[in-house]
């Protein structure tokens, strides 16, 4: 399980989980689940285009992710955000349908881009993935304070000179970068589950942002590791396990939060004090 080609799978999946856990924290905090679905999914059209004109898939994915992110950011300033995201997604996929149609050789790759082929990762994919991941992690670290402020208290951020629009664009670009890097190795489905399920679960366990982000990375890592092990043992696809485990982690988080609320309520009855008010959760 830990030899040869499997080693690449473990390495790349761990890198992806770290990035997904960090970016996903902001995705959940900002309530941008739709964007996290639309950008990786739509960038698939770019892969089809790249294959048509014969350039590296990574270039196509990158161009489409960036275009999608900028389009959603700029159009979303005036229009309804969810509408703009939906239209950007279908436009990218519509172009993808056209590219696929013009290119007869591409077809078998569709499912691998959707569901990923973690177990088929080759050694020469490790380095580009790691490099892009590093850029992602550094940007998140640099953006952390202003992005946090702008996500939780947009008005205060504006007053302090942090433009909400500029932060939205930066955030979308980070999502685009994360998609470009992760889609070719794990597929659009897996990255989406990781970016939503793990941070959403983490937020049920703690109110402290830094702890939540660390926990989100930890849950994402646990999810991919157990998914790969399970897939190796059973031969069922990794995407199935990632999807199920992510949803399961979220359900556990919800149960824990409900149980803690009840415990706090009982505490009030026992010693007559008011229950500690939970920290105001963002958005």
Partner 1 sequence: MSAVLASLIARGFFSSEVVGVALLVGTVVAVVSGTVGVFTVLRGQSFAGEALGDVNTTGGSAAFLAGVAPLWGFVAVGVAAAGAMELVGIQRPRGRDLATGIVLGFFLGLAALLFYLVATLHNTTGAAQTVLFGSVFTVSSSTLPLVAALGALALGTVALLYRPLLLSSLSAEMAAARGLHVRALGVAYLLALAVAVALAALTIGSILSTALLVGPAATALRLTRRPATAIAAAGALGIGAMWLGIVLAYDSYDWTSGRTGWPVSFFVVSLIFLGYLLSGLPGLIARRARDA
Interacting residues with partner 1 (CB under 8 A)? 28, 31-34, 36-38, 75, 78-80, 82-83, 85-87, 89-91, 93-95, 97-98, 100-102, 107-108, 110-111, 114-115, 189, 192-193, 196-197, 200, 236-244, 246-247, 250, 283
For residue 246, the minimal CB distance to partner 1 (Å) is 6
- Shorter beta-carbon distance to partner 1: residue 145 or 262: 262
Q: Which is nearer to partner 1, 55 or 83 (CB)?
A: 83
Measured from the CB atom, the residue of 117 and 173 that comes closer to partner 1 is 117
We find the least distance from the C-beta atom of residue 34 to partner 1, in angstroms, to be 4
How many alpha carbons lie under 13 Å from residue 245 in its C-beta half-sphere?
23
Specify the residue, 26 or 192, whose C-beta has the smaller distance to partner 1: 192
The distance of closest approach from Cβ of residue 131 to partner 1 in the complex, given in angstroms and rounded to an integer, is 27
CB–CB of 8/121 below 8 Å? Answer: yes
If you ran DSSP here, which 8-state letter would residue 274 be given?
P
- Contact between residue 20 and residue 195 where contact means Cβ atoms under 8 Å apart: yes
- In the bound state with partner 1, the residue whose beta carbon lies nearer, of 22 and 35, is 35
Q: Report the nearest approach of partner 1 to the CB of residue 273 (Å).
A: 28
- Minimum Å gap between C-beta 114 and partner 1 is 6
Rounded distance, CA 274 to CA 265, Å?
9
Element (H, E) at 207: none
Nearer to partner 1, 126 or 230 (CB): 230
- CB pairs under 8 A, 24+ apart, for 3-10? 5/119, 5/120, 5/121, 5/122, 6/119, 6/232, 8/121, 8/122, 8/123, 8/125, 8/126, 9/118, 9/119, 9/121, 9/228, 10/225, 10/228
- Of the pair 20, 136, the CB lying nearest partner 1 is at 20
Nearest to 231 by CA among 186, 179, 266: 186
For the CB of residue 208, give the shortest distance to partner 1 in the complex, in Å: 19
Dihedral angle, C-alpha 120, 126, 132, 133, nearest 10 °: 90
Minimal distance in Å, beta carbon 45 to partner 1?
A: 10
């Amino acid at each position: 399980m830990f030899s040869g080609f499997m080693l690449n799978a473990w390495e790349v999946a761990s890198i992806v989980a770290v990035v997904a856990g960090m970016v996903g924290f902001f995705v959940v905090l900002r309530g941008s689940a739709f964007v996290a679905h639309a950008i990786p999914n739509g960038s698939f059209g770019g892969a089809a285009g790249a294959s048509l004109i014969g350039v590296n898939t990574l270039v196509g994915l990158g161009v489409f992710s960036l275009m999608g992110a900028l389009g959603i950011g700029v159009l979303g300033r005036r229009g309804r955000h969810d509408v703009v995201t939906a239209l950007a997604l279908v436009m990218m996929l519509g172009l993808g349908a056209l590219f696929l149609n013009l290119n007869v050789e591409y077809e078998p790759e569709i499912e691998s881009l959707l569901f990923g082929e973690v177990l088929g990762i080759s050694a020469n994919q490790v380095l580009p993935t790691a490099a892009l991941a590093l850029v992602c992690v550094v940007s998140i670290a640099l953006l952390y304070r202003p992005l946090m402020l702008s996500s939780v208290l947009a008005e205060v951020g504006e007053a302090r000179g942090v433009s909400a629009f500029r932060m939205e664009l930066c955030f979308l670009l980070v999502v685009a970068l994360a998609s470009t890097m992760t889609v070719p190795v794990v597929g659009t489905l897996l990255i989406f589950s990781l970016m939503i399920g793990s941070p959403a679960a983490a937020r049920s366990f703690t109110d402290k942002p830094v702890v939540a982000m660390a926990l989100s990375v930890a849950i994402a890592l646990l999810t991919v590791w157990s998914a790969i092990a399970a897939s190796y043992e059973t031969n069922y696809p990794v995407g199935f396990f990632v999807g199920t485990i992510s949803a399961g982690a979220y359900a556990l988080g919800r149960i824990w939060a409900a149980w803690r609320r009840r415990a706090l309520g009982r505490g009030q009855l026992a010693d007559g004090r008011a229950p500690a008010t939970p920290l105001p959760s963002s958005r």
